[in-house]
Structure 1
Amino acid sequence: MKNSGDTAPGGGASFLPGPPVDRTRHEGFQRWRQTRGHFVPAPALTARQYADKTPRQRRLYDLHRLATHSSLPIQATPMSEAVAYTVNARIEDGAFSHKPGTRTGVMVNGNGAQGKTETVCEALATFEDQWLEVNHQLNPEAVPGTRDLFAPVAYVRCPVRATPISTCQRILDFYGEDHRGMRLEDLIRTVNTALGEHGTKALVIDDITRLKLHREADQDVLDLIREMMSMPVTLILVGVGIPLSGLLRDGRRDPVTKEWVFPPVKDRGRSPNEDAATQHERRFELVDLDPFSYDTPAQISDWIDHLRGLEGHLRLLNDTQGMLSDGDMPEYLFRRTGGVVGLLEKLIQRGCRLAIESGSEYLTAELLQGFTVSPTDLPDLDAESGEQPVIPPIGKPGPKKKRGRNTVFDDDGPAREAMG
């Protein structure tokens, strides 16, 4: 019997996920990097083709469709492309530089569920693909008798209620290094050694604003980051509300250039680390990953283009072209999500499940009105650290715009006046 595409050669379902991927470990990051984009979505079928299947085949196809909608690809947006360009440029500038000294880092700022992590991880994976190819899969800086693990990039996440010690431990965990019983000074020294001997060119610390800098006991985190900046690695910090977190002095965002502007340093205040914060501003480029906007024709066009791209990945039995991008749907979806791509993905994923279960096989505002995205749909985001996005209320679908009367054959010229 010919394989229908829903089953693997060994008899199992081809769309079943493998073991969980932990990108905060070197092995997990490598597996994700090498297999990203390998998922094969369910084939697009018509209602007639679906009806011709056996009940078992239809059930397998429905499960494959659910897997497809749960694994929607991360679509690039104009905002994420700008961030990815900056991250890639900084990593390459540092990696290919023959000069010693500090590399310029990047701080990626933005609210929750806007795709910061995926944007940065994709930039990391792209760089590592190229770096491994250039170096023939070998560490060009390998030293005989030292560690043989080659890790051009490292990705870690700050734990909730993080401290400088736990942050260093997370970095060493990525490499599988033993850090039991180490003091902070020993941890920093070991991190420095690991970065060099593993050939790491870029280090990402995600959720950096989980570090509570308002606590006096944690003020030395600025010294920790300053120490990391002296290491031969491009440091990328990702977080929510970075300009107001204490990592930098309070700044404002220029409404024209969209860049962050920081006031000149005045007399030393109560913070013992104002000089460190100033040093961060000189050594980091701060970029924002914003949600979509819906104010100008160009912004509306970008949003609709994004919805059109999403339509192509939906597996409903009715034609999905225009399902999200025509009529009042773009404006409705923007009201429901605020232009946040993570909320849009969760809304569409849940809606597709209901459309399949109800047999309607179509997404409408009326269908989406039946539920809301909740914080439980975003379990990786810590509410206390401000990572949970603001979820707009459901509200009302809004009245449909009435079409005006066709006036093509109306005559408002001299002939009509003569008739009057």
Structure 2
Amino acid sequence: MAAGGHRPDRTQPPQLTRAELAGLSPRELLRHNDRRAVWHANIGPIHTPQLLKLHEDLAEIVEANRHDGDKTKPAALVDACPGIGKSAAVRAYGRRLYREQIALRGETTPEGHRRVPVIYIALSGNTQIRGLNAAICRFYRLPTTGDADTLAERAVDAVLSLKTCAIIIDDVHFLAGSQSNSVRMANQLKYLSNVFPVTLIYVGVGVQQRGILREGFSPEETLLAQFGRRTTPLTLLPFQVEDETGRHQWRTLLKTIERQLVLTDTYPGMLADDLADYLYVRSTGHFASLMALINRGCLRAIRTGHERLDTELLDQVTNDAATEEARRELASAIDAGLLTTRPGIADARRRTA
């Protein structure tokens, strides 16, 4: 996150005409297409209503955690289904927080150290506390020898010296292994809250369903769960088109993406008008699935010389397994006129029914 927060925003490649594209030398064309591929793979973050709400909630939690001394700071848990774009959304907030802290307090600490306001750690399967502490030390380029407590002491020294105010821990559902019980997992997360004097932002899938916020207590005993008292659960929802608000949000999203595509034959309405229903079916309203489909479609459009997105080209592009499996039901509803992504059409159908 330190490097990402410091990096300037990417510059969108130029939009060339067919004649300009044909006028490039083989080497220039190769470099132009490479820049386009990198650009399309990194479009975003797009400030959807869902992302803005999540950023607002995260900022409120982080900015309220200005406690003096060793008082435990409440944490945030962003828990949502796969393919929603939660990791990208939280990383975008981390970059924003990083830049705000640098602008507010400067690039160096009063002691002359480089300021690192935010760090980002992604867990892998069956991570234990020692492994997590080692990952934090590795981020700070500290030695990773010793037991969990030794590693924690090193990491805390770095947190304090480099003025870190937030640690983002992604894929937290891997902590202690997928088969571990909620009590063990909650105890490990409480340990982190007790040890690190920062706001911890956890990102995961199905974490609340494991009962982690209850720490193994029954629903009637939830008040006894310390971790639940210290943690604010947040989520990120997929796009829905069952009402006008949702349909307008979907159209706005597609128009925003459309403006960022660097294809020679792109045109206004290519996504928002001609492909709105199709893209909703192919992504099932999941942002990450949508962006993967569009990114791969742009690659194919560039490599084949098609230079635009349409159903014929996108039908050749495969997407994630979960989306491909769920698309049939949505496609049937749209084909039958029971569902649409187009604002105003559903209301018009009801008036004429």
* TM-score, with length taken from structure 1: 0.70
Does residue 334 (structure 1) correspond to residue 280 (structure 2)? The answer is yes
Paired position in structure 1 for 2:221: 265
Tell me the CA shift for residue 285 of structure 1: 0.9
Alignment of 1:349-368 (within 5 A): 349-368=295-314
Distance across 1 between alignment mates of 2:282 and 2:128 = 36
Alignment of 1:57-96 (within 5 A): 57-94=28-65, 96=66
- Conserved 8 A contact 1:244-1:250: no
- Conserved 8 A contact 2:2-2:98: no
Does residue 307 (structure 1) correspond to residue 237 (structure 2)? The answer is no
Listed one character per residue, the Cα deviations across residues 387-409 of structure 1 (whole Å, up to 9, x for unaligned) are: xx5544665797598xxxxxxxx
Distance across 1 between alignment mates of 2:90 and 2:253 = 20
- Conserved 8 A contact 1:226-1:280: yes
- Conserved 8 A contact 1:213-1:219: no
Describe the SS at the equivalent of 2:271: coil
- Conserved 8 A contact 2:106-2:115: no
Distance across 2 between alignment mates of 1:288 and 1:81 = 12
- Conserved 8 A contact 2:78-2:202: yes
1:122 is matched with which residue: 92, 95, 103? 92
Paired position in structure 2 for 1:45: 16
Alignment of 1:226-237 (within 5 A): 226-230=190-194, 231-237=196-202
Paired position in structure 1 for 2:5: 33
Distance across 1 between alignment mates of 2:264 and 2:171 = 40
* Unaligned residue ranges in structure 1 (runs of 5+): 1-28, 252-261, 267-273, 376-388, 402-420
Segment of structure 1 superposing worse, 289-298 or 228-237: 228-237
Describe the SS at the equivalent of 2:94: helix
In structure 2, do the counterparts of structure 1 residues 61 and 154 end up closer, same or farther at CA, with 3 Å as the change threshold? closer
Describe the SS at the equivalent of 1:310: helix
* TM-score, with length taken from structure 2: 0.83
In structure 2, do the counterparts of structure 1 residues 100 and 306 end up closer, same or farther at CA, with 3 Å as the change threshold? same
In the alignment of these two chains, the number of paired residues is: 331
Alignment of 1:21-420 (within 5 A): 29-37=1-9, 39-54=10-25, 56-94=27-65, 96-98=66-68, 100-140=70-110, 142=111, 148=113, 150-182=115-147, 184-211=148-175, 212=177, 214-215=179-180, 219-230=183-194, 231-249=196-214, 263-265=219-221, 275=224, 278-327=225-274, 329-374=275-320, 390-392=323-325, 395=328
- Conserved 8 A contact 2:126-2:178: no
Alignment identity in percent? 24
Distance across 2 between alignment mates of 1:148 and 1:53 = 47
In structure 2, do the counterparts of structure 1 residues 246 and 317 end up closer, same or farther at CA, with 3 Å as the change threshold? same
Q: Which amino acid aligns with 2:116?
A: A
- Conserved 8 A contact 1:213-1:221: no
Tell me the CA shift for residue 364 of structure 1: 1.3
Q: Which amino acid aligns with 2:268?
A: Q
- Conserved 8 A contact 1:338-1:392: no
Distance across 2 between alignment mates of 1:114 and 1:351 = 19
- Conserved 8 A contact 1:335-1:392: no
Listed one character per residue, the Cα deviations across residues 155-174 of structure 1 (whole Å, up to 9, x for unaligned) are: 11222221122112112211
- Conserved 8 A contact 1:106-1:237: yes
Q: Which has the larger radius of gyration?
A: 1
| Greater fraction helix | 2
Tell me the CA shift for residue 98 of structure 1: 4.0
Describe the SS at the equivalent of 1:244: helix
Listed one character per residue, the Cα deviations across residues 96-123 of structure 1 (whole Å, up to 9, x for unaligned) are: 4446512121101112232222222222
Tell me the CA shift for residue 57 of structure 1: 3.9
Q: Which amino acid aligns with 2:53?
A: A
CA RMSD for the aligned pairs?
2.9
Describe the SS at the equivalent of 2:109: coil
- Conserved 8 A contact 2:118-2:165: yes
Describe the SS at the equivalent of 1:265: helix
In structure 2, do the counterparts of structure 1 residues 86 and 391 end up closer, same or farther at CA, with 3 Å as the change threshold? farther
In structure 2, do the counterparts of structure 1 residues 56 and 153 end up closer, same or farther at CA, with 3 Å as the change threshold? closer
